[in-house]
Structure 1
Amino acid sequence: MSSSKPTKVHSVRLTNSGQAARATSMADLMKSVKTSFISPKKGEILAGTITKLNSYEILVDIGAKTEAVVLEKDKRLLRNIIGILKVGDKVTVSILNPESEFGNPVVSLRRFMDDKVWNKLNELQKSQKVVEATITEVTRGGFIVMVGDAQGFLPNSQASFLETGQNPLGKKVAVNVLELSRLAHKIIFSQKAGQSIEFEKEIEELKPEQKITSTISNITSFGVFVSLQGKSHLIEGLIHISEIAWEKLMEVPKDYKPGEKIEAVIIGFDKKAARVNLSLRRLTEDPFEKEMSKFEPDKKISVSVSEITANGVLFNLGNGIEGIIKKEKIPPNVTYKEGQTVSLTVSMVDKKRRRVILAPVLMEKPIGYR
């Protein structure tokens, strides 16, 4: 019986010339297949198209083997994405993880959404278009406000509350973009930008040193805001805390209430802030002018220490007059404490700073003392 040998079969393919070419291994065949898929890397910014968008899942086609899954932990950002974008929109994504345990790239749309917000803010700043803002927080220097998806700051100097002194939280105000810095993440809004021309018309009949009657509209840590009658409309005025009384005040007196009428004198106009600067203390005679004649140079006085500061030792000389020993005039190895009575000599009267410059009375001059 003759034995038959098994026939060896070769896979073949035709070349362009029609000749048969022997196939190699499966690995070589796989290598010969060209694909258009990309392999994303962590931190890359890639373009894509939204293919699915709902509150449970957001998918983006970035050209990888599988669709990318958007991961955002910020609920407000997530709500903005769902509310603003739609399926088919072109976006850019940041790669957080090239391939999750499920095989999908994990991406973020935060940078893309931030770009949209800042581009919009830049447009608003250029056009000076007025938009609506909502006050969400009150700070010492002003108000935190929301304009769409952007959180910014409305400084007291750029705010205007002429109607009432009520709690402004939740209040809607009309603002425009005053200043932007994406690097510092600074967004400054203003209620007054663009009002200069109107303001100048309103103050045509007002002049410095003129006494006016105004209505308190708001109390802040640095002064009292009032509304007063301009040529045809109400305009804003400010009585700074330093202009309330001749003596130094640490806070605005509690007896000032929103809605009360108050007489003041005009001391200037802040056209940039569209505001009239007012004073209460200048309605009365400056006690310093009257009292300073009591403090002639070289006069000896004995007073108590009222405060120790970085600039020197302060003394209350009565009637709102402040005295100071400058730190460079404090003798070596000499210390002072509040309430301590000290013998002093008047060096000079500083009219500009409204205080008396003092020096300690020395029994003998220490070495190195000037």
Structure 2
Amino acid sequence: MTEEFNESMINDIKEGDKVTGEVRSIEDKQVIVDVNGGKFSGIIPISQLSTHHIDSPNDAVKVGDEIGAYVTKIELDEENETGTYILSKRQLETEKSYEFLQQQLDNNETIEAKVTEVVKGGLVVDVGQRGFVPASLISTDFIEDFSDFEGQVLKLKVEELDSENNRVILSRKAVEEVANAQKKDELLQSLNEGDVIEGKVARLTNFGAFIDIGGVDGLVHVSELAHEHVKSPEDVVTIGDAVKVKVKSVDKDSERISLSIKDTLPSPFESIQGQFNEGDVIEGKVARLANFGAFVEIKPGVQGLVHISEISHQHIGTPGEVLTPGDDVSVKILGIDIENERISLSIKATLPNEDVAESDDATTKAYLSSNDEEEDNPTLGDVFGDKLKDFKF
């Protein structure tokens, strides 16, 4: 009789079967279920009601709910010829969750999940089961405090699934990377030479500063940081500074952007208007030497040219025979062209010499009227004009 009872009672529903039923009653630590097509009632222990921790069965179900579950065990009471199905709603939820997450992983899809807990190593999220976002996968930016994420609904990508070890790893960083790449492409397409835009100093090197202009970094070369000579970028800008920059060039294929801070600043030459006049004798410092003369700084960012013929009353072969960068010198202003930012200076005009005539006006005019933007490398023709034909070596 016992064998016949066992066989008749369990032939319809077996361990491992998926069943459905209606919640009949809720107790402190379990739920009673009327199993559809079953000969016994079902019991779901509180630990098997949800993939998440709950304090009461009422947190997961209510009386009258239609639910699904797996049969994990069948307990038979042979003496009374009855039995009970032990069920797991959690197991079914976990299975469905893995199926869904695997589909998202295969299709590289983005999902949304709520942060249920902030822990030391990252974020715990609800994806139908317990999912984890490690600290290294939370953002493309460094984030020191994760507490603000608690309760937020995040967009995530599935990074890793391991059902055997109950491991679900997700990434918010991967979603940000896709968005940043799209934003970067849109920005590159919209940038044009001459645009003036806002940015933030991202990092510094010995040759310049990289500026974040909205997901893309552009380089401000050290020579483009200020009108005056800059030895080190740290002397002018600091990481995190908000700056205004002008786009000098854009290479969209290589994603290289050249920027200038200097071009957004007022020219130092504008400030000297009315301060210096032709004929003034002022003090300056030799900034650099060229084979055709010496550049003298008369104000931070403002340099004038002392042509080699205006350095000394005596003939010299090179400016270096008389001058050294850093020398303090007196100079006379021979001419000023504010529009083209050119100043012609003379050292010898400040020195007494009864046998020497006035300074060479033709040389001054040639320099002031030159349109060569490369001041460090003007040709002798640019400087002397027709006077070259009479110059004797």
TM-score (norm 1): 0.39
Give the greater-gyration-radius structure (CA).
2
TM-score (norm 2): 0.37
More helix, by proportion:
2
